[in-house]
């Protein structure tokens, strides 16, 4: 399992448009992915899960990836949160 800490870079937070982009990225990943904010864990392959985090601009999230393509997946997810 790989884990990284990321910060939400979007001024409007992790709202519908970036959440949709994140789901598209995650759907192409075979590994299990978990987004963690405070005590809440969600599957980022679900837009409702992402939206339920209520992650605003500057919020710190933990991303955990476990599976066959975890190294590649962590790179894609880190790029999403830094671009």
Where do the domains of the chain lie, and which CATH numbers do they carry? 2-82 (3.30.1340.10)
Q: What is the arithmetic mean of pLDDT over 26-33?
A: 97
Give the per-residue pLDDT at 35: 97
pLDDT band at 19, cuts 50/70/90? very high
Report the SS3 class of residue 46: coil
Task: Report whether pLDDT(59) > 90.
Answer: yes
Handedness of CA 14, 74, 29, 25 (dihedral sign): positive
| Model pTM above 0.85 | yes
Strand partners, 2: 65
Distance CA 25, CA 59 (A): 20
Indicate which residues carry an active-site annotation: 15
């Amino acid at each position: 399992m790989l884990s990284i800490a990321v910060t939400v870079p979007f001024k409007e937070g992790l709202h519908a448009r970036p959440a949709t982009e994140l789901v598209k990225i995650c759907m192409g990943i075979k590994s299990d992915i978990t987004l963690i904010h405070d005590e809440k864990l969600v599957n980022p392959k679900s837009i409702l899960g992402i939206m339920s985090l209520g992650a605003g601009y500057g919020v710190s999230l933990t991303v955990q990836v476990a599976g066959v393509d975890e190294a590649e997946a962590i790179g894609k997810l880190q790029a999403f949160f830094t671009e």
